[in-house]
Amino acid sequence: MVNILNRISVVFAALSVKEYLFAKSARSFRPLKGKPKHALVSPLGDGRDGLLNFGNLMLTIILALSSTCLFAQKVTYDEWQNLTTSGKLPPECKLQHSNNNLDLVKYKGRYYLAFRTAPTHFASKKSVIYIVSSADLDTWKYESEIAPKRDLREPRFAVYRDTLNLYFFTAGTGLFSFDPHEVLICRSTGDGHWTQPESVHLDGFVPWRLRERKDTLYLSAYYGKNLYNNKHQSNLRLFYSTDAKQWNPISKEPQVDILSAEEGEFIFDKSGNLFATVRLEGTGALICSADATALNTWKKVRLKSKFDSALLFGHDDEIYLVSRRNIDGDIDKVKNRTNETRGRARNLIRYSITRKVTSLYKFNKNDLSVSLVTDFPGTGDNAYAGITKIDDNNYVLMNYSSNIHGKKKNWIRGQLGKTYIYWTKLHFEPNK
């Protein structure tokens, strides 16, 4: 009888925890300043509706009756530090108003950071990508810079066959245009020297993520020409390479051909299965998976939420997602629309004038869903993260944002204003 009462009490505890964690806006924990930040990964879903439907109730009861404790992993992070105002970047880095797109990797005992600096978030011929490195995250050494007098974005590191590669793409110079030109690669030759950028012959594509599997390098990229008009040819696909320079599609057909599909973030689990998120500009997102034996065939679940600038990383064969979260909720707000183009445009206008934050989610492999873990400090223009492992349970996480200690602002104000690069250390509670 006592055991039954204990289990019933766990059911009500689970319901209370779900209501607390996920009702209304799925707010994160807000501890005192200066203390490690804590969050719990809930197995009960994201609770965006704010009410427990019958399915969630049954799931809660099943979980509670199968154990007398809630399954959760504690995640903590240190106070975020502003790298761009720290005075620790080398003097060769001439920072401009907007410091954003970045990537981070650990290679031969050093941390390598690549980031874009420009007058604003938008396209500019003054855009520069700097590459710096550090052995201790405190003293940073200048490595190289890329300044082709046109816009450039999406720096992506890939360590392949003991060589450090950096990919990026060049674009136009019109302030509000999105006009991808070339995808290029440069390589570290050691002691702060890098090769000159050279094309990998994927003109018009935008590189998003590179991962290695079974000594083959994979690249997700989407065709970005005419992305914001009716001439866009949706083509998001996986490419593969065995030399990091020559790329071939894994299949004749694209992996995603839905209108405005972009930012195909992906990762492999320990079994070699693929999991991915895809941004659908103006309408939402896809959460995808592919079996290790059929990487060209993606299963897709469509959502009205949007995961901008997505970053997936693995911990103990679990998958986590870092991305921009729309505080206004789902992006697809226009109901019963008869004109898809106008509907998307209205969604994007509303999206631009609402607030954003960078968030950590748990990626649920079984049902292709995500659960909000916590929000990180951020406002205005934010979210383009890079992460690399320190040891089994600790990671360095970098991101950009408008001033996290300043007045809260919407996305477009942040895009036109000053942004900074911040970093923290992310800690997972060791498994016992």
Least confident span in 166-175, 320-329, 376-385? 166-175
* pLDDT tens digits along 46-97: 444 444 444 444 544 444 343 333 344 689 999 999 999 999 999 999 999 9
Q: Where are the alpha helices (DSSP H) in 276-383?
A: 340-352
What are the residues whose beta carbons fall under 8 Å from the beta carbon of 86, sequence distance 6 or more?
A: none
The pLDDT, as a whole number, for residue 233 is 79
| Distance between CA atoms of residues 400 and 415, nearest Å | 11
Q: Where are the alpha helices (DSSP H) in 42-112?
A: 54-66
Query: How far is C-alpha 367 from the chain's CA centre?
Result: 20
* pLDDT tens digits along 285-296: 999 999 999 999
| Distance between CA atoms of residues 179 and 93, nearest Å | 26
Could you give the 3-state DSSP secondary structure of residue 17? helix
Residue 341 — pLDDT band, cuts 50, 70, 90? confident
- pTM value is 0.85
Q: Are the C-beta atoms of residues 183 and 176 closer than 8 Å to each other?
A: no
DSSP string, 184-220: EEEEEEETTEEPPPEE-S-TTEEEEEEEEETTEEEEE
Q: Which CA distances in Å does 248 have to 239, 276, 281, 355?
A: 5, 20, 26, 39
* pLDDT tens digits along 400-422: 999 999 999 999 999 999 999 99
| Distance between CA atoms of residues 212 and 241, nearest Å | 10
The pLDDT, as a whole number, for residue 39 is 60
Which is nearest to 309 in space by CA: 391, 241, 209, 211? 209
The pLDDT, as a whole number, for residue 37 is 57
The pLDDT, as a whole number, for residue 64 is 39
| Distance between CA atoms of residues 40 and 373, nearest Å | 6
**65 φ, ψ (degrees, to nearest 5):** -75, -20
Could you give the 3-state DSSP secondary structure of residue 157? strand
> What token pair was written down for 259?
């209108």
The pLDDT, as a whole number, for residue 178 is 86
Count CA atoms within 13 Å of residue 28 on its CB side.
25
The answer on pLDDT for 428 being more than 80 is yes
Q: Are the C-beta atoms of residues 83 and 21 closer than 8 Å to each other?
A: no
**288 φ, ψ (degrees, to nearest 5):** -130, 160
Domains located in the chain, CATH noted: 2-72 (no CATH), 79-428 (2.120.10.10)
The answer on pLDDT for 394 being more than 70 is yes
